[in-house]
Structure 1
Amino acid sequence: MQELRSLTPQEIERLQSQNCECADWTRVKVSARFNPHFIKNTRFSGKIKLGVLENEFELAGGLKKHSCINNAVIHNCEIGNNVVIENIQNYIANYLIGDNCFIQNVDVILVDAKTTFGNGTEVNVLNESGGREVHIHDKLSAHFAYVYALYRHRPNLIKRMKAMVDYYAGKHASDMGSIGNDAMIVNVGYIKNVRIGSFCKITGAMKLKNGSINSNKQAPVYVGRNVIAEDFIISSGSRIDGGCIISRCFIGQACHLDHGYSASDSLFFSNCQGENGEACALFAGPYTVTHHKSTLLIAGMFSFMNAGSGSNQSNHMYKLGPIHQGIVERGAKTTSNSYVLWPAKVGPFSLILGRHYHHSDTSNLPFSYLVENNNATHLAPAINLKSVGTIRDAKKWPERDKRKDPDKLDFINFNLLSPYTIQKVFAGVSILKNLQATAGETSEIYTYQSCIIKNAALKRGLELYEIVIHKFLGNSIIKRLENTRFTSNEEVRDRLKPDTTVGSGEWIDISGLIAPKSEIDHLLCQIESGEVSKLKEINNVFKQLHEQYYTLEWTWAWEKIQEFYSVTPETITAEDVIAIVEKWKTSVVKLDEMIYTDAKKEFSLSFKTGFGSDGNIQDQAMDFEYVRGAFDKNLFVMATLKHIEDKKALGDELIERIKNVK
């Protein structure tokens, strides 16, 4: 705002003639170019600062409206340039209102005491009864929340993290609210103790209380019709609409809640979507998606997950209360009417079909199907690896990243195959081989974690796990040796040496960020010791680990290559590399052919049922093709075939480049 001055006697007279009131006009300060012409029927009180009213707004439909202040009661506010504030049914109190704001037909906007605007709100995630509460704040990342919620076995760590949040909340506490530049608030009921960012659009919301809406120019926030929100933080680029009701929730960047979705004590991180259904004590990591009216997500941790209609979980056994929790690792799906009785843990990229009551832990059997059969859980290890749906999901997630804010809160690794998943594949191989050794290779069924595994499913699982190990390790070695000419085996060995020792050992997925456990442990020790004491410092470590992923991945992959292919850094030769690449080529092609076959099922005769109504078989086929397209012209099918050719060419290029190295 420009330099301020007091009102002139003529300006006071003009305002009074336009039915404006103030008990003490000396407390009203205005910009140098202030013109009172566009202020009418308004009562001022407290300390007031006013900008100029010179510009016009062009509204939808072509209507133009001059900036103005009409029909309002304004107490203790600082108002920027070129605003529209009119038809305030009660009053606006204790707010800093930015330039170019449009505020119309509002009941009340006020701050009634010093407040943190939702920062520090306790969210009882995962356990409704408490014990895993996360105190939310503007800069909350999925990774920070993951540690905060799950690492309760390190009380000093949690104490230090809580202190950081308390410091941040205290630093941003104020008895003055703010509405950023270019915000629009129209046809809204009750707004109390809410900080509203620039370019935010709020239309038709019923009640907003104690929260922050972190909108900005690059990623505006929209809050729509009949929304009720209390004790909340909404991050940039998100949209809350259609009568949603949220209480004690953090909404991450580019999330979308709509069509009457209700959520309490829940965390939603980047690109989550919730429609029609319900969430309670939910930890929704990036890309948790639920669209169906009958779906409840409760007391669970998910990420990259799609919930089918009627999906449900239970955290209550009617004994000691709703104290149970579940973890479904990244990439899982639930089918229609699926049910899981917590506690349970489901491995990454698994599919849950039917109802499951036996508290199993399949976290080391990734890419599996969990299928209900006669009230028992039947497990098909690795079968999801050859599903076209798994590959389609992995490709669509980065394409559906709607975050526009340059300052991203979550550092998301989209890789289907990573040290995190492949270490679980290795663990799965050990589990399945131990079952064979214990019960015998001819046993019809095996039992693991209260799950039944049929003999054929176990053997198929071992085969698929071996294929995907060849694929990942081959990918890694080809990537490491690309774009380099070698004249000797020594040069090959030198290139294969990792750039760092960091990356060895176990890897973890902390809600979207895949990183070596050793580095996360190091960070947590630094927090416990006080060496790291600021939220920004923690987020910087997460950012660095994300940016260094491929460097650290090679450290892990190189160790596994030595172990799996029985080679050593001192003796490996170009010939050994060629053998690894040949196995990689075979595995990649075999897996892609399985995916191709799975995709082809979608175009079989049975899937054409209902097409070509009132016609013959030829009409049915033509109608299907016009709607769904021809199989050989399907974009995914064409991409799969191209992937086979590209991968063959990539492997052949490396083989050709090093085949004469001695």
Structure 2
Amino acid sequence: MEDYRNLTGDEILRLKSQSCQADDWENIRVSENFSTEFVHHARFSGEVKLGVFQTEFTLPGGIRKHSGLRHVTLHNVTVGDNCCIENIQNYIANYEIGHDTFIENVDILLVDGVSKFGNGVEVSVLNETGGREVVINDKLSAHLAYIMALYRHRPELTARLKEIADYYAGKHASSVGTIGCHVTILNTGSVKNVRIGDYAYISGACRLSNGSINSNEAAPVRVGDGVICDDFILSSGSHVDDGAMLTRCFVGQACKLGHNYSASDSLFFSNCQGENGEACAIFAGPFTVTHHKSTLLIAGMFSFMNAGSGSNQSNHMYKLGPIHQGTLERGAKTTSDSYILWPARVGAFSLVMGRHVNHSDTSNLPFSYLIEQNNTTYLVPGVNLRSVGTIRDAQKWPKRDGRKDPNKLDFINYNLLSPYTVQKMFKGRETLLNLRQASGELSDIYSFHSAKIRNSSLVNGIRFYEIAIHKFLGNSVIKRLEGIDFRNDDEIRARLRPDTSIGSGEWVDISGLIAPKSEVDMLIANIENGTVNRLKEINAEFERMHRNYYTYEWTWAYEKLEEYYGVKPEEVTAADIIRIVEKWKDAVIGLDHMVYEDAKKEFSLASMTGFGADGSRLEKEMDFEQVRGDFESNPFVTAVLKHIEVKSALGEELIERMKRVGN
């Protein structure tokens, strides 16, 4: 702790001559090497501690300003070394300010009474009228929020989680706020009951009230012009700019909200982006993106989602109020002018096009299109598996993870095929086969809940799901057996045997983290019985599940081998492995060829409409090529061709190894 001393009589006289005042000069304490030279027009009251003012700040445009205090009123404030604070219209009260911080032209900075700085705020997510409140705090992960919001059928769990969150909020409550080191606050209005971390940059904000800005050197937070935030938490690396308005919101790591985006009672987790539009009571899991002015997201749960312009949902049937909610599972997309009447649930990696008012539940039919024709929802199962867009999305998300903070709050699994999605394909395939059996193979249209499926779509859907299941199980087998020369079938069986029993049964996607339901249930039981009772411990459990994903995944895949291939894993032979790998090769290469053909459509003559505006067909093609490149050298297309080549070689290599077994 730094030693402070009282001012000398000479120093007090010099400060008075520089238009400084104090209610009681005895309450002003300063660092040993304090100099009065850079303190002018300052007024002090309460307990004030001042560091040294020895360095300069170089501002944009090249202007230099020496650290010091000018035109400022301080009440119960500690100022660290080498800060520059000037032109504070009202005052700064009840703050500890770190070193090398620059504060200029701010209306007021104060902590009024004991504050929890946004911790403990209840966000009425998914249901505006309440009932699914998530208590936000600095350490909130998407996974914990998911359990807090959705596991209301376990009241003991809800009570325990509230207790844990309240304990954390109470522990961090204080009547003194902190502004970290190397912070910049410029041209800002009212800042009240806000804790600000190191390296934060706040410029032009209108009002910040009751919140935490969890900035740090590795991942600074930026708050820009016209921003209004009330009852909020901004996580490390987030940017809130350009007139964004947030009320009762949690903003996760590396999120970007701006261009007049407005949100209330909403949660945004890692890498979300919101611009121009509006959000109300949404649970935006990792990588939820909305860019358009006319887009309203309301009372929905999303993740890895892209909202088209004019996307809209209704949670109000004008009967019992806005009580309805809906879910678009991971990777779902909405097209321009799409509409969904909640309640509804859309399966993973599905595309929603048109207006849907029939409360569909397609969660067991992932990778589908939901298309509206004449007020009827038509379902095209599995078709998104062959879409070039789906593959591109899966590749782009890991690259777009903007989190720089070494302490990550969310544990994100990017896999397109996982026990979570593949278990749904098993169920989807069974559903489609049952539909065909019940209504006959020659039916033109099949009815599924409130949606219709055309005959050709049903047949293709079964085929797409079978291809994807072959691909996933084959991938798992190849990964398990890679790099080992086996002498006999017993060695193969021993290697195939899972390392743990964890992973069998149902899997869940708890907002970005894919894990066995048994593990999530065990964590919940431990929270209920008090074994796990701190936020840090809960987050450590999520990290453990994420770290062991591939171990658990193999347990699940191992059990499915018998169900899908009719092979008892404990009796498997090299010949069985060869058969599985052959099917895998056909599936992978077949799927890649479908994706390749889908990509080709982007380079068709129809796609060139609007190019070569005033010229001939040749000029149109040349203009298109200059802007978009040619098909064969497109990076994505070359990646698909390379993928076919690599996977073929991988399959052949394992087949050759299997052929040598027992020889």
Shorter-chain TM-score bucket reads over 0.9
Aligned residue in 2 for 1:521: 521
Query: What are the Cα deviations for residues 586-610 of structure 1, in whole angstroms up to 9, with x where unaligned?
Result: 0000000000000000000001111
Residue in structure 1 matched with residue 8 of structure 2 by the alignment: 8
Greater mean deviation of Cα atoms: 467-476 or 58-67: 58-67
Q: Is the 8 A contact 2:532 2:538 kept in 1?
A: yes
Corresponding position of 2:338? 338
Q: Which residue of 2 aligns with 1:613?
A: 613
Partner of 1:25: 25
Q: Deviations over 1:553-601 (max 9, x none)?
A: 0000010112211111331011100110000000000000000000000
Paired residues, number? 662
Give the Cα separation in 2 of the matches to 1:328 and 1:366.
11
1:377 aligns with 2:340: no
Aligned to 1:365: 365
Contact 1:205 1:226 in 2 (8 A): yes
Correspondence 1:233 to 2:233: yes
Tell me the SS of whatever aligns to 2:81.
Answer: coil
Is the contact between residue 2 and residue 32 of structure 1 (CA under 8 Å) also seen in structure 2?
no
How many angstroms apart in 2 are the aligned matches of 1:521 and 1:338?
Answer: 36
Question: Which residue does 2:150 correspond to in 1?
Answer: 150
Please, which moves more after superposition, 567-576 or 202-211?
A: 567-576
1:100 is aligned to 2:100: yes
Query: What is aligned with 2:189?
Result: 189
Task: Tell me the equivalent position of 1:301.
Answer: 301
Amino acid of the structure 1 residue aligned with 2:519 = E
Q: Which amino acid aligns with 1:525?
A: A
SS at match of 2:317: coil
**Is the contact between residue 197 and residue 214 of structure 1 (CA under 8 Å) also seen in structure 2?**
yes
Q: Return the offset for 1:23.
A: 1.5
Structure 1 residue 457, shift from structure 2 partner:
0.2
Question: What CA distance in whole angstroms lies between the structure 2 residues aligned with 1:446 and 1:322?
Answer: 33
Given the alignment of the two structures, is residue 624 of structure 1 paired with residue 614 of structure 2, yes or no? no
SS at match of 1:161: helix
Q: Distance in 2 between matches of 1:273 and 1:608?
A: 30
Matched, 1:212 2:215: no
Instruction: Give the structure 1 partner of residue 499 of structure 2.
Output: 499
Checking the alignment, whether the CA contact within 8 Å between 1:85 and 1:104 is kept in structure 2 is yes
Q: Distance in 2 between matches of 1:629 and 1:485?
A: 45
Q: Distance in 2 between matches of 1:537 and 1:596?
A: 46
Equivalent residues in 2 for 1:352-501 (5 A)? 352-501=352-501
Question: In the alignment, residue 490 of structure 2 is paired with which amino acid?
Answer: E
Specify the code of the residue in structure 1 equivalent to 2:274.
Answer: G
The alpha-carbon deviation at position 449 of structure 1 amounts to: 1.4
**Take 2:532 and 2:617, find their aligned partners in 1: how far apart are those partners?**
69
1:138 equivalent to 2:138? Answer yes
Q: Which residue of 1 aligns with 2:66?
A: 66
User: Does 2:50 match 1:47?
Assistant: no
Give SS of 1:274's match: strand
- Whole-angstrom CA distance in 2 between matches of 1:116 and 1:594: 55
Deviation at 1:59, TM superposition (A): 1.3
Tell me the distance in 2 between the aligned counterparts of 1:607 and 1:571. Answer: 53
Question: Match for 1:131: what amino acid?
Answer: G
Equivalent in the alignment of 1:555: 555
Return the offset for 1:276: 0.1
- 2:274 aligned with 1:274: yes
How many angstroms does 1:2 deviate by? Answer: 3.0
Residue of structure 1 equivalent to 2:177: 177
SS in 1 for 2:87: strand
1:485 offset after TM fit, Å?
A: 1.1
Partner residue in 1 for 2:129: 129
1:508 aligns with 2:508: yes
Q: CA deviation at 1:3?
A: 1.4
Secondary structure in 2 matching 1:70? strand
Long gaps (5+) in structure 1: none
Query: Partners of 2:86 and 2:506 in 1: how far apart?
Result: 60
- Separation in 1 of the partners of 2:491 and 2:562? 17
Q: SS in structure 1 opposite 2:19?
A: coil
Once residues 442 and 58 of structure 2 are traced to their aligned partners in structure 1, the CA distance between those partners, rounded to angstroms, is 77
CA distance in 2 between partners of 1:608 and 1:124 (Å) = 47
What is the match of residue 584 of structure 2?
Answer: 584
In the other structure, the counterpart of 2:567 is 567
Partner amino acid for 1:428?
A: G
Q: Which residue of 2 aligns with 1:657?
A: 657
The one-letter amino acid paired with 2:89 is: Q
CA deviations 1:113-149 (Å, max 9, x no partner) are 0010000001000000000011100000000000000
Q: Which residue of 1 aligns with 2:316?
A: 316
5+ residue gaps in structure 2? none
Paired residue type of 1:488: N
- Please give the per-residue CA displacement for 1:5-34, whole angstroms capped at 9, x wherever unaligned: 110111111111000000111111100000
Per-residue CA deviation, residues 79-109 of structure 1 (Å, 9 max, x unaligned), is 1000010000000000000000000000000
Amino acid at match of 1:515: A
Q: Distance in 2 between matches of 1:193 and 1:2?
A: 25
> Residue 558 of structure 2 contacts residue 569 of structure 2 at CA under 8 Å; is this kept in 1?
no
Partner of 2:287: 287
Is the 1:99–1:182 Cα contact (8 Å) retained in structure 2?
yes
Partner amino acid, structure 1, of 2:86: E
Q: CA RMSD in A?
A: 0.6
Contact 1:197 1:213 in 2 (8 A): yes
CA distance in 2 between counterparts of 1:195 and 1:139 reads: 15
Q: Where does residue 115 of structure 1 map in the other structure? A: 115
User: Matched residues in 2 for 1:398 and 1:64: separation?
Assistant: 41
SS of alignment partner, residue 77 of structure 1: strand
Q: Secondary structure at the match of 2:90?
A: strand
Give deviations 1:247-284, integer Å, cap 9, x for gaps.
00000000000100000000000000000000000000
CA offsets 1:468-511 (integer angstroms, 9 cap, x no match): 00000000000000111111111111000000000000000000
| Alignment correspondent of 2:545 | 545
Q: Please tell me whether the aligned partners of residues 377 and 451 of structure 2 are also in contact (alpha carbons under 8 angstroms).
A: yes
Distance 1:510 1:245 in 2: 28
Asked if the contact 2:489/2:573 (under 8 Å) is kept, the reply is yes
> After TM superposition, where is structure 1 displaced by more than 6 Å over at least 4 residues in a row?
none
SS of the counterpart of 1:366? coil
Residues of 2 paired with 1:405 and 1:141: CA distance?
Answer: 14
- Partner residue in 1 for 2:160: 160
Q: Distance in 2 between matches of 1:279 and 1:556?
A: 38
> TM-score by structure 1 length?
1.00
**1:580 aligned counterpart, secondary structure:** helix
Give me the TM-score of the superposition, normalised by structure 2: 0.99
Letter matched to residue 151 of structure 1: Y
Alpha-carbon deviation of 1:60?
A: 1.4
Measured against aligned partners, the alpha-carbon deviations of 1:395-421 in whole angstroms (never above 9, x if no partner) come to 000000000000000000000000000
Aligned residue identity for 1:650 = L
Alignment-mate amino acid for residue 631 of structure 1: F
